[in-house]
Amino acid sequence: MALRKLITAAALLWFLSPLWLPSGEDLKPEEERVAEAAKEEIYFQLDSLRIITPKIVAVDVRKNPEFKHHLFKEGQVAWEVHLVGYTWFHIPWTKMRVFLVEDSRYSTGFLSLAGSIKSYWSAEWE
């Protein structure tokens, strides 16, 4: 009986692990702000994603001067954010990429311009 309770407790902790395991990348404050805006945009665009993906972690945040968009103002450079979504039991499930540009009209301070989502196991980052 005690072994069953121990196994049940361990399984429950593993199931909830995405909620308490560390987030991974150490980001600079500015990069963290960009990553949070990208995560908010992902959850806004894919509302049901939150049910099966309780944790999204930024694995790469950088400026991408090669990304061009017609909404750019003179001299603007887009941020490219690579994210990994973890499902329950802390299993990687999706890879996401979001391009953002700073825009003070939005609550996050960023406007999402483009993005993609794919299976974690299907392809490499482009």
Q: pTM (2 decimals)?
A: 0.79
Q: What pLDDT score does 125 carry? A: 63
Distance, C-alpha 116 to centroid of its chain: 11
For the stretch 31-48, pLDDT in tens is 888 888 888 888 887 777
- Tell the residue number behind the tokens 């692990």, with chain if given: 17
pLDDT, averaged in runs of 10, over the chain (126 residues): 82 74 73 87 77 82 82 79 86 87 80 78 69
Q: What pLDDT score does 123 carry? A: 66
Q: What pLDDT score does 20 carry? A: 64
Fold of 2-119: Nuclear Transport Factor 2; Chain: A, (3.10.450)
Q: Tell me the C-alpha distance between 45 and 115, whole Å.
A: 10
Q: Tell me the C-alpha distance between 27 and 57, whole Å.
A: 11
SS (H, E, C) the chain: CHHHHHHHHHHHHHHCHHHHCCCCCCCCHHHHHHHHHHHHHHHHHCCCHHHHCCEEEEEEEEEECCCCCCCCCCCCCEEEEEEEEEEHHHEEEEEEEEEEEECCCCCCCEEEEEEEEEECCCCCCC
